Structure 1
Amino acid sequence: MHRSPRAYVIAVTTSAAAVLAVAALSWGDAAACAGPACTPRAAAPGHSTAASTVTAPPIAAPAAGPPGGERAGNATMSAPTSPPATTAPTATGQPAGPRDPLRQPFASTSIWNTPIGSGAVYERTYLRAEDKVALEPNTFAHPARAGSYATYTLRGPDGGAYDADGVTYGGRCRGTANLGPVLFPRSTVIGDAVVAPTYASPGNATAVVYPDGRTLLQLRSAARCGADSEPHGNRATEADLYGDGTYGGHAGSGLSSIGGQLAPGELSGPAPIAHALQLGVWAQKYLAYEPDDDQPGFRWPADRNDADAATVYCTLEPCRDAPDRRLKMGALLAINPSLTMDHVRLTNPAAIKIFEALRDFGGYVVADTYAPTNQLGIDAAALNEVDQDDPAWRRDVRAIFNHLWLVDNNAPDRIGGGGTPRVAPPAPLPRPATGPSELPRTGWVASASHHPEQAAAALDADPASGWRSRQRLAGGQWFQVDLGAKRVFSRLTLDAEAFPFDYAHEFDVLTSADGNRWTRVTRAGGARSSAVTFPRQNARYLRLVAVGDGIEASQTWSIGDLRLWRNDAVSFR
């Protein structure tokens, strides 16, 4: 969530057509570049300044046939297999038959779709409802909703319009920074930050499904002030609509743009809400920050805290004098099942459904509201399904926030606390029809600006080994791969799950035929697992160059596993 002293506003318009068309726009084709982004910069004292190489051990080519199996992180797009059947004591309301990934995305085993378990450890905390509970809209564009697509240049949201409390708002659509080509629906409009009638600087977490039906472009601080114009926003990591969907466009946590959002029909329809929810809380009052901790203001599954957390988080009571160090960005909150509906006396039908979802699946803290507000993430297309001015709605949702407990043992190996799930997980997704093909890594040679002798570990198929810069993250640091010969590829994935806070938040992707003249392909958004799709390349060399510093001074850059893919189902022509 971007900072705003008052309200949050968004405007989204889409068309109902389902025609797909891709217009042409090239960016950086065959362009040579120079400077620190292309040429290895001087390394820190004690580290090699040369691009000395290390040969990676041969990696066998993937077996022929369709891909299969889900993998942790956003770093793959292999087709998922159905998860094992789970016996649940109260498996009420399970969706029947194949699940629609556009309505409820991601694997049944993702954090968003895994129910709270019988092993959950519930802990009281000091979180309380604020005066206002708001629905925070996300933009979700896909072919069935948004109509035809075209290729545009993504621009940074770096224009200026007005200042409030030392922060500049508005003018996102005036940004000029070139962040590379993206596919975007022609008709989708995303409201900018505004000056009147109230100051508003929404986070505008955005997700766009590409024409292959599974690649998910994700943006934060997004805006698009007119149809068929260049979109603006900071690029977050991509996701696979059929994958785990952990990371994305929520700037303060790094969590998914759309995972856990309330979808059209969920508040107004009869079926239960069968997934975890997106929650926003006021970080100044509630979120702990430990400057000496490796993860100072966040916990799994979040992979970051806000950049200003050191001066904003936990600066008001009740957190300031007695912080609850368990309550950080990414915390899983839930209704303790010992609390019944009769205890809270809810009457609003939509609020009752939210109560049940938070009891059975919980909700993840994805954003700081930066105001006396609690928030629930929602697809902008569903905003009209509840009257937020209804006194019963306001009373009931505030009561729900007053009864949220912390699930303290939520972890990668026991999502929701482990044990027998309270309800059955959502039905598995159907097997996707298409997927990218991975390039075999036989004979690849890796080098790096720092500790090049360890670079090959990013290519050894063991994400837990990996390359580590062991230096404070700074713009200009680079990692390079010589593929041995020209190869065709259009997608990059990086896995740093073994290194919780060691990844580049932004990095430029460059390619070269000879290792001397480089072409900037795109700018990618980093995460603990990162992915980016770009126009098809036919190149021998790949270089990744870090852009900017880390959120925290302790942050470094690590790559546990690097892979390249060819995805012919996505075209930027």
Structure 2
Amino acid sequence: MPKAFVPLLVGALVVSLATPVLGDTEWHSVGRGMVSGVSGAALIRHSATEVVTLVVRDNKKPGQNRAAVVTFREGAEPVVEPLTWQGAEPADLEAVDAVPGSPAASPARDVYAWPFAWDSVWNLPLATTAEYQAFDPRFQWLYLDKEDISVDPGFPVKTVRQNDTGERNRVHTDPKLEADGSWNHCATLLMDTPDKKTVLQGQPMTLTKGGDPSWNYSWKPLSLTGQGIEGCHGGSGLSGIGGTIRGGELVGPQPIRHALKLGMNCGLSCSKANNGFRWPAYKADKGWQDRYHGTNPHVNMGSLMALPPDYDLSWITRPDVRKIAETLKTYGAYIVDATGGKSTNSLAMDQKYAHEFPNIDSAEMRTVLHSLAVITNSGQATPGGGSLTTPRRAECAPAFADGTGGAPPNCGASVR
């Protein structure tokens, strides 16, 4: 059966890229047979690692696909996501282009790079009604809590061994990823499911490059398009991918568009109040009754920490520190784990990109985190310090490529 192909340079998809994703004369299969043929294409977005396009197909019969999102990534086969046409299906669909200034021209969200629904705790900016209470965690040093993330559907499929349940599952595993089984190595791997949008989490992971992963503690499968709260942080039961600093976020031109994750020196800072945890956390550390010695009842596993809106950032000279500080003013950070001692705090980051955060333990970064406040009115009904209709400190998350998962048009719109 003949294959359908699309080149990088075709019709409306004319992209000038200094990127290794594709050569400028390569053709790539996007399906088999005449019904997979491409009649037009438009660029959704591009970066140094991927090109995402909308393609249309001039099919005539009811039920035949009319449009799809095609994602090209370096070293991987294109990922094709057919879209469901809303309303009467067109019979003569020969071209497509973005209309400048229209909502349809807004960049779609990549479910793998920016997962979860718009109202997930990880994606909601702080509410303008958030109430701040100063809190100094009294740490001395900072480090990166390095997480293992492999959610590219183009990665090879391996079998993960879940030692606690005895289960085996097929997962897409980055061939360059490795983990030595030490704590925490909180891992999130994309399952080889038909939807390609379900992840499995566990810790601590053991993996040699190109091998099959394993871990000792497992969590249930989680959709990348849902709320994304639960996961492999043992201290809180919170997500191993939500809130993680991902590759390119600290060095790219765009702001970080999600909350962060904070490891806290609970021996000094975490309170026994509320049984040691609050929403969105599911639990506190084992032995919290003896381990937590903080005196502020608002500081627990799951607490939301942030820089006050009037906090001055002008003194910060290091770009990575400045970006973290901006994110802490706009989204904040959730406490997800206890650190290894009273003298340390941590921020969670994809381990493959740790080199992009050289100043994690700089004097500037320590000063920023010593300036955090706890949001005292963040809860299930008031996430980020306000109801979902409350103005936010940034625009809310847009829709995914298939049109789902996006915020209402007025979410955050009145924020200045």
> CA offsets, 1:7-35, max 9 Å, x none?
xxxxxxxx964369xxxxxxxxxxxxxxx
Task: Quote the residue 1:523 is aligned against.
Answer: none
Q: CA deviation at 1:190?
A: 3.5
Q: 3-state DSSP class of the match of 2:238?
A: coil
Task: Quote the residue 2:36 is aligned against.
Answer: none
Structure 2-normalised TM-score? 0.67
Q: 3-state DSSP class of the match of 1:143?
A: coil
Task: Quote the residue 1:404 is aligned against.
Answer: 372
1:267 aligns with 2:250: yes
Task: Quote the residue 1:299 is aligned against.
Answer: 278
1:353 aligns with 2:336: no
Q: 3-state DSSP class of the match of 1:208?
A: strand
Query: Is residue 207–residue 219 contact of structure 1 (8 Å, CA) maintained in 2?
Result: yes
Query: Is residue 126–residue 393 contact of structure 2 (8 Å, CA) maintained in 1?
Result: yes
Q: CA deviation at 1:421?
A: 0.3
Give the alignment partner of residue 108 of structure 1, picking from 115, 118, 130.
Answer: 118
Q: How does 1:88-237 map to 2 (within 5 A)?
A: 96-128=106-138, 130-144=139-153, 147-156=155-164, 179-185=166-172, 187=175, 189-193=177-181, 201-211=182-192, 212-225=195-208, 227-237=210-220
> CA offsets, 1:24-52, max 9 Å, x none?
xxxxxxxxxxxxxxxxxxxxxxxxxxxxx
Q: 3-state DSSP class of the match of 2:366?
A: helix
Q: 3-state DSSP class of the match of 1:341?
A: coil
Query: Is residue 159–residue 213 contact of structure 2 (8 Å, CA) maintained in 1?
Result: no
Q: 3-state DSSP class of the match of 1:280?
A: strand
Q: Which amino acid aligns with 1:132?
A: W
Q: Distance in 2 between matches of 1:139 and 1:103?
A: 14
Q: 3-state DSSP class of the match of 1:285?
A: coil
Q: Which amino acid aligns with 1:396?
A: E
Structure 1-normalised TM-score? 0.50
Q: CA deviation at 1:229?
A: 3.4
Give the alignment partner of residue 374 of structure 1, picking from 345, 350, 354.
Answer: 345
Task: Quote the residue 1:421 is aligned against.
Answer: 392
Q: 3-state DSSP class of the match of 2:267?
A: helix
Query: Is residue 108–residue 429 contact of structure 1 (8 Å, CA) maintained in 2?
Result: no
Relative contact order, higher structure (CA 8 A, sep 6+)? 1
Residues 396 and 406 (structure 1), Cα distance of their counterparts in 2 relative to 1, 3 Å cut: same
Query: Is residue 134–residue 388 contact of structure 1 (8 Å, CA) maintained in 2?
Result: no
Count of residue correspondences: 301
Task: Give unpaired runs (5+ residues) of structure 2.
Answer: 1-72, 79-83, 87-104, 405-416
> CA offsets, 1:376-430, max 9 Å, x none?
11112221113248xxx61111011111001111111211111210111122223
Q: CA deviation at 1:332?
A: 0.1
Q: Distance in 2 between matches of 1:387 and 1:235?
A: 31
Q: 3-state DSSP class of the match of 2:298?
A: coil
Task: Quote the residue 1:252 is aligned against.
Answer: 235
Q: 3-state DSSP class of the match of 1:366?
A: strand
Q: 3-state DSSP class of the match of 1:350?
A: helix
Task: Quote the residue 1:75 is aligned against.
Answer: none
Q: Which amino acid aligns with 1:180?
A: E
Task: Quote the residue 1:362 is aligned against.
Answer: 332
Q: Distance in 2 between matches of 1:278 and 1:296?
A: 20
Q: Distance in 1 between matches of 2:216 and 2:403?
A: 29
Query: Is residue 130–residue 385 contact of structure 2 (8 Å, CA) maintained in 1?
Result: yes
Q: CA deviation at 1:210?
A: 1.8
Residues 365 and 328 (structure 1), Cα distance of their counterparts in 2 relative to 1, 3 Å cut: same
Amino-acid identity (%): 27
Task: Give unpaired runs (5+ residues) of structure 1.
Answer: 1-14, 21-65, 69-94, 157-177, 194-200, 434-573
Q: CA deviation at 1:309?
A: 1.2
> CA offsets, 1:87-112, max 9 Å, x none?
xxxxxxxx941111111111111000
Task: Quote the residue 1:18 is aligned against.
Answer: 76
Query: Is residue 218–residue 237 contact of structure 1 (8 Å, CA) maintained in 2?
Result: yes
Q: 3-state DSSP class of the match of 1:213?
A: coil
> CA offsets, 1:201-242, max 9 Å, x none?
421111111233211101122222463235123101321101
Q: Distance in 2 between matches of 1:205 and 1:16?
A: 26
Q: Distance in 1 between matches of 2:299 and 2:332?
A: 14
Q: How does 1:306-317 map to 2 (within 5 A)?
A: 306-314=285-293
Q: Distance in 2 between matches of 1:126 and 1:262?
A: 23
Residues 425 and 276 (structure 1), Cα distance of their counterparts in 2 relative to 1, 3 Å cut: same
Q: Which amino acid aligns with 1:411?
A: G
Q: CA deviation at 1:133?
A: 1.2
Task: Quote the residue 1:395 is aligned against.
Answer: 363
Q: Distance in 1 between matches of 2:129 and 2:160?
A: 48
